[in-house]
Structures are given as structure tokens and as C-alpha cells.
A = this chain, B = another copy of it.
Amino acid sequence: MAAHNPSKKDVETGTRFLPRFDDNGLIPAFVSDADTGEALMVAYMNKAALLLSLETGEAHFWSRSRQEIWHKGGTSGNVMKITDIHIDCDQDALWVAARPQGKGAACHTGQRSCFYRKLVLNDDGVVLEDNGSKPMFDPADIYGE
């Protein structure tokens, strides 16, 4: 029973939770809308944030800038109600399906999704094309200037 040395098969096709956090103890979590599949945001969880997310049903992350647990929506009210969390084959990435509450904006810019700009390759290189969606709130109202 190689409990401390799980095989590649254990990790990739087993039912044991064997998360592979990075050197900072983090795992990327991709959040998409549970109803539409729209990509909303990417953030990082440490073990505590992941357990809090599972226990409370609301997304918690590790804030790399503030170096603390971050209850998503704790300030803005735009909490993310989790439908389910999946882990990928090599257990180093998470997919969180969620329903944004409050104004429904996942992004601190006020946009519904953090992914509101598309990459376009033209003769001058890569540029970003805004999808034209309007912010759902004014960040200054929530976070101050």
C-alpha cells in the first residue's frame, strides 16, 4: 500500500484526492458559469481555500497579492455559489462551476466575466478586442478609488 507514493494511475484514474499544489501551495481554479458555460475567472486556491469552498458552497481563493484567504464577493456581494468542483486528470487544476450572485459580475472591473477581451492577430501582432459589454457596476463604488 504505497500511500505516500501514489502511482500515475492512482492520480489520473483513481478516486483518491491527491492534489498537486505548486511550489507555493496553490492550484489554479477556473470558474465558469454553471448554466451557460461562459468562462468567468481564474484564481488560485490553497488547501484551506479549497476546503472552505467545499464546506460553504461559496468560492474561496488564496489572494496572491494580499497573501490571505479571499472570500470571493465578500466585499462586492458578488459571491459565487458553487455547483460543483472537478479536478483534472493529473490533479493539478480545478474547474469550478458556479452561479454568480449579487450583480452577477465576476470581475473586479465590473464586467460579468474577466475574459471580456478576445485576442486578434493582425499585421501588427496581437491586439485585444473588447466584446463591447458594459460593466455591471462601477468599481469605484465598491472598492473606492
Contacts and interface: CB of A to CB of B under 8 A. Distances in A.
Contact of A37 (B32, B87, B117): B32
Given A36-B37, A42-B30, A128-B16, A54 B121 contact: yes
A130 B15 contact: yes
A14 B28 CA distance: 25
A138 interface: no
B42 A86 contact: no
A130 B120 CA distance: 37
Interface in A50-98: 50-51, 54-55, 84-90, 92-95
A85 B130 CA distance: 12
24 contacts: A12-B109, A15-B129, A16-B128, A28-B28, A28-B42, A30-B30, A32-B37, A32-B39, A33-B37, A39-B95, A42-B88, A50-B119, A51-B121, A51-B126, A54-B119, A54-B121, A55-B121, A84-B118, A85-B119, A86-B117, A87-B117, A87-B119, A87-B128, A88-B114
